[in-house]
Structures are given as structure tokens and as C-alpha cells.
Amino acid sequence: MTAATPTVTPGGSHGATWPLRHPWLAAIALALAPVVFTAGTSAAAQLSGATEAGGALILAGGAAASAALGLAVMRRSPATLSSYGLRQPARLRAALWLAPAALTVLIMLVSQGIHVGGPTLAAYGVLVVAVALNEETWFRGIVLAVLRARSVRSAVVGSSVLFGVLHLANLAGGEDAGAAILQVVFAALFGLVAAQLVVLTGSLWPVIVWHAAWNFVSFAGGNTTGPGATVGIGIAIAAMLAYALLLRRHLLALTRVETSDEHVAVR
């Protein structure tokens, strides 16, 4: 491990950077941590014979423990928690005030509705917050920082690909292969937009809220696959693709400005 002082530019293209000897291998190993916790608690929930609400709470406990471990890893790294994104977001105007992200959640809510109620819905509320904190801490926090030592592009693309591929773990839970593959593609796209938002705004909080809201609406709708939900997912994917292109343009412009400033500073 090579210690280095992270570049901390709120809202800039630079944030926590954790230089390691083999960044790709380190990123893969670190990305497996939340997957192991999820697999373990999922197995525990199934073996316990818990109700749907009880199983959700068991999964939430595992996700919370994994998130706590992620925060501990952040503290032990060369960077600060603030540089990882645990700070107030900036450049919200460039990110269109996060309106496209909120729109995707609204689209899913309208297209599939709410089919889960009572204690189960409350348990899912706890679960989605724990999962969002967990996955964003590891993927858009730690993994992004490790790969950012190579380049911002490597960090954004690499973290999103890992996020998508590791969703194949859902096959272990008995999910249909076709559905699992579609989830991998969608997760990679979601991860791409989320990583871009973190780099642009310098904060994890917007994507944590977006992640939790998206999952909550999905659970509340009973993960339905009817025509309405399918159309909704298609529209949401189109909105995410457009958002990704917009964010990419802003990131390229921001990177060029910061690179120019660095050259001036060197002179």
C-alpha cells in the first residue's frame, strides 16, 4: 500500500484517491466484501424461515454491518471521509439538480404502483436505506477511490462494471438467468450514472438517496414484471442513458479545466 495525500476538490473531478500496487485486483477484492455479507445474510434469512418482513430486516442487518466495515476501511485509508464523498454536494446545477434521477423513481412508481403494505413495507424501508449506504460506501466510495488512482475514466467505468457483474450473485438466490442478466445490465447503467454523479458533485449523499428511493419503489411494487412495469423500466433506462451522456459532457469539461489549472500551477 502506498500512502498518498488525496486531492480534495469539492465538486471537482478529483476526490479520494487510494493508490495501491495492483488497483484492479484490489478493486475486485474490495467489491466482493458487500457481496459476501449479502450472500451470508440472505442464506441466514432463508434458513431462519422468517417472514418476508423478518427476512428483510435480517438482510438489513447484514447490509448495515457491511456498511460499517466499509466506513472503517475508509478511515484506515490515506484519504479522509469527506474526500470519499461524505460531505455536502456541490455543482448540483451541472447535475440538473438531480431531477433526472428523481424522474426515474417517479416513472417506476407510476408504472407499477404499490402492492406491498403494512409491516413488510416498513421493513423494506429499513432494508433499502441499509443497502444504499452499504453499496454506495463500497462501490462509489472505496472502489471508485482505488481505481481513480489510474484515471477518472477508469474509476467511473470500472466501478460501474464491477457493480453490474457482481449482481450475478443473485443467481445463487434462485433468480431466473434471463432476469439476472437484465439486472446486471441495468445495475451497470445505474452504477455508471451514480459514479458520474459522485465525481461531479463530490458527494455520496445524492446517490445514496437515489439508490434507496429506487429500491424502495421496486420493493413496494412487488418487483412486478407486468406490461406497465416493463414500459416503465424502458423509459427509466432511456432517461438514465440520456443523463449519463449529459453528465459525461460536464465531466469532460470539468476535467479539461482542472488539467489546465494544474499546468498553470506547475509553471
- For 194-205, the pLDDT digits (tens) are 999 999 999 999
Q: What is the pLDDT of residue 6?
A: 38
Question: Quick check: is 10 in a domain?
Answer: no
DSSP 3-state assignment of 15?
coil
Question: Quick check: is 101 in a domain?
Answer: yes
Question: Do 71 and 142 meet the contact criterion of CB atoms below 8 Å apart?
Answer: no
Cell 442478466 -> residue = 181
How many domains does one find in the chain?
A: 1
Residues 6+ away with beta carbon under 8 Å from 249: none
CA distance 90 to 70: 23
Question: Quick check: is 52 in a domain?
Answer: yes
Q: What is the pLDDT of residue 2?
A: 39
Question: Quick check: is 4 in a domain?
Answer: no
Positions in the chain whose pLDDT score sits under 50: 1-12, 261, 263-267
CA distance 83 to 202: 8
- For 91-143, the pLDDT digits (tens) are 999 999 999 999 999 999 999 989 888 899 999 999 999 999 999 999 999 99
Domain of 150 in residue numbering reads as 23-256
Question: Quick check: is 261 in a domain?
Answer: no
Question: Does pTM surpass 0.75?
Answer: yes
CA distance 139 to 167: 12
CA distance 19 to 2: 6
Angle, helix 177-201 to helix 205-220, in steps of 10 degrees: 150
Question: Quick check: is 14 in a domain?
Answer: no
Tally Cβ neighbours within 10 Å of residue 75: 11
CA distance 122 to 116: 10
Question: Quick check: is 11 in a domain?
Answer: no
Question: Quick check: is 143 in a domain?
Answer: yes
